[in-house]
């Protein structure tokens, strides 16, 4: 088994019931080929009745990557359709193409440090496979498929939202729907208008490896109003927390 899977599960925000699925998602075909028997074909099709089944000895992540690509496209489309009801088909397509692009998924794979967890054969290891875009993107999709098979749709949706969806403001700007709003400034204004205490921000937690750190910030208005939110920087975390309080104040 790959070492440090506990750490990877923590970064994913998901704990596997069947950790063999995660192990397989991280296994490149070069590693599986190194471990395969020297001779003898592996039968992958169903066996006729009465004939003992031949074990499926394919242990690489290629089939999981195939499934993960479809799960990603489906759940990203569903999330965009639901979250942006006023966007045109063209805007939704633009955002989907961005979110499922190799460059975007590579950044998500780097945040999870998937390169360190990949199981590679000797040749691919020597060739620098741990930093290859194709291998890392395929591994991300395979891990997503593993989460989907292990925990279902909502578990996979959660991983996508945590790891591959930027803030709604960033997406709105990308879709040409206007610049992102400054929720910290908006919260300051709302607090003044409603004679509330000035917002106070406090860093309450940090998680993840150094190159993919996530920050947890709490914003508080006196004793009654408070919210916490995560972000890839202290600034984005405080922005997300301020947004929650703004939405609460406007809805109240």
Measuring CA to CA, how many Å separate 54 from each of 9, 35, 48, 57, 83? 32, 17, 11, 9, 46
C-alpha separations of 5 from 165, 174, 210 in Å: 23, 35, 17
Q: Torsions phi, psi of 48, nearest 5?
A: -60, 155
Please state, in angstroms and rounded to a whole number, the distance separating the CA atoms of residues 160 and 165. Answer: 6
Catalytic residue among 65, 113, 124, 141: 141
Calculate the CA 182 to chain-centre distance: 25
User: Is 141 assigned a catalytic role?
Assistant: yes
- Name the phi and psi angles at 127, rounded to 5: -85, 5
In sequence order, the β-bridge partners of residue 227 are 219
- Which backbone phi and psi does 200 adopt, to 5 degrees? -120, 130
Which own/partner pairs from 249-252 qualify as long-range (CB within 8 Å, at least 24 positions apart)? 249/187, 249/190, 249/194, 249/225, 250/190
- Indicate if 34 belongs to the active site: no
Task: Single out the catalytic residue among 69, 124, 150, 169.
Answer: 69
Closest CA to 201 of 181, 179, 225: 225
- Which of the residues are catalytic? 69, 141
């Amino acid at each position: 088994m790959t070492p440090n899977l506990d750490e990877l599960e923590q970064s994913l925000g998901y704990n596997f019931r069947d950790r063999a699925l995660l192990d397989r998602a991280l296994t490149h075909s070069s590693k599986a080929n190194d471990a395969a028997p020297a001779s003898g074909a592996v039968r992958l099709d169903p066996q006729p009745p009465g004939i003992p089944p031949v074990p499926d000895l394919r242990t690489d992540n290629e089939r999981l990557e195939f499934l993960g690509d479809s799960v990603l496209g489906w759940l990203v489309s569903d999330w965009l359709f639901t979250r942006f009801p006023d966007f045109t088909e063209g805007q939704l397509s633009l955002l989907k193409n961005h979110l499922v692009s190799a460059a975007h998924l590579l950044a998500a794979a780097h945040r999870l440090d998937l390169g360190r967890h990949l199981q590679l054969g000797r040749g691919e290891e020597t060739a620098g496979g741990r930093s290859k875009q194709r291998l890392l993107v395929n591994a991300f999709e395979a891990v997503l498929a593993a989460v989907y098979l292990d925990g279902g749709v909502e578990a996979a949706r959660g991983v996508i939202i945590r790891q591959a969806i930027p803030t709604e403001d960033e997406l709105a700007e990308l879709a040409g729907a206007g610049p992102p709003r400054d929720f910290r400034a908006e919260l300051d204004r709302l607090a003044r208008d409603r004679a509330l205490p000035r917002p106070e921000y406090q860093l309450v937690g940090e998680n993840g490896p150094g190159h993919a750190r996530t920050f947890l910030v709490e914003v508080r208005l006196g004793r009654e109003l408070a919210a916490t939110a995560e972000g890839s920087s202290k600034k984005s975390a405080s922005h997300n927390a301020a947004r929650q309080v703004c939405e609460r104040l406007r809805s109240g």
